[in-house]
Amino acid sequence: MERHWYDVDLQAAAKEEALTRHDVMAHVHVFAQQCPAAAPIIHLGATSCYVGDNTDLIVLRDGLDLLLPRLVLCIERLADFAARHKALPTLGFTHLQPAQLTTVGKRACLWLQDLLMDERALRRVRGDLRFRGVKGTTGTQASFMALFNGDGAKVKQLDRLVTEMAGFASSFTISGQTYSRKVDVEVVNVLASLGATIHKLCSDIRLLANMKELEEPFEKTQIGSSAMAYKRNPMRSERCCSIARFLMTLPANTLQTAATQWLERTLDDSANRRITLSEAFLAADCVLLTLQNVVEGLVVYPKVIERHIRAELPFMSTENIIMAMVQAGGDRQVCHEKIRVLSHEAGAQVKQLGLDNDLIARVRADPYFAPIMGQLEALLDPTTFTGRAPDQVTEFIAEEVMPVVDSYKKEGKLNLNSAELKI
């Protein structure tokens, strides 16, 4: 048996399965032909789910071990982007309408925070995985009790040894013929949640690309549109959103499967799981690889951002102007009314005539504001409107991002680089 451990004859197994209509028994028959002395005891006391479910749990564990470093690598690269742009002011948007200023780096930290939550969720699910172990046909271990002449201690020892050999710390104490399909629900849910994070992140990039403030990588020879030669479509971000949207639909399958496991199990789970679990991991892998490529090559256009700020900042600066006038001895209510009238006039210029926002010019032309004329430039400095955003970025990366990244580096898990990516 040890000599034929890796001698898997897939063609012979396929022929057997065509006759038996049973995947596990097909391999049992082929193995028995390779090891005739062992043939009478191969699979003795076991059931197909001993093979299939334990294998699935190994695959789930190993799949998460592949995805987690990919996710953390994206986190590291995005953190570098956030740090480089932590102090660059940009318009914030609420309701997709211009709002108080933030910074480019601070916005990236919003994405990072969600990715960190996904890393924690994937790591938790991976840590919660247990082996099904040696439980027998309906989970009672009755067959193994017969094999060991009723010696329950030996049955437990066999269960423990097989579990340890498979690399798991523990196995389920209770199972039916299968491990609980709630495990699949938990695993696919966290993958789908990761998909939602990446969809939001890449949707933001697409919106910013529309505004020409931010752009994903775009090669010199890349074609954006077959018809419109000038186009620079964010196709990588669009691909992420497309596949992430598919990934987000998959938990419904796992929920249905868990809900319809009659009594100790039914077989209508099998074909569904083979598709759902595989595609969940493949989709998550795809969006993470593409996301890495995107965040490694993000391009920021500060001049465009500055132009957009200049168009909106006059309105946002009104509170600063009022405060400065009050400090110079003015009446707040009088100043407020002055600013209100001038703001409406400037707004009409922008909305009705399509002209630039000239609120500040109107303020300069009004003698009422003479006491603060020397302060206007300082009052309009965008960096004074971003609060603690730069410091928040620094603190967040140091206190929350880098401890996670460093833990993976310490374990030697971050071994991917951009050269491997052909997106």
Active site residues: 95, 225
* Lookup: tokens for 230: 């000038």
> Among candidates 381, 333, 414, 328, which has minimal Cα distance to 119?
414
Which long-range contacts link 259-268 to residues 24+ away (Cβ below 8 Å)?
A: 261/176, 261/178, 261/181, 263/176, 264/138, 264/139, 264/176, 264/177, 265/49, 265/176, 265/177, 265/178
Compute the distance between CA of residue 158 and CA of residue 133 in angstroms, rounded to an integer.
Answer: 9
- C-alpha dist (Å) from residue 271 to 49, 167, 274, 276: 14, 27, 5, 9
Strand partners, 299: 215
Strand partners, 300: 214
Which residues in 299-346 belong to E strands, given as ranges?
299-300
Compute the distance between CA of residue 219 and CA of residue 346 in angstroms, rounded to an integer.
Answer: 41
Phi first, then psi: give them for residue 299, nearest 5 degrees. -115, 130
Tokens 């991976």, located at residue: 126
- C-alpha dist (Å) from residue 422 to 63, 158, 225: 21, 46, 20
Length of the chain: 423
Phi first, then psi: give them for residue 93, nearest 5 degrees. -135, 125
Strand partners, 171: 131
209, 234 Cβ separation under 8 angstroms: yes
Compute the distance between CA of residue 29 and CA of residue 40 in angstroms, rounded to an integer.
Answer: 11
* Lookup: tokens for 152: 């329950």
Rounded to an integer, what is the distance from CA 337 to the centroid of its chain? Answer: 48
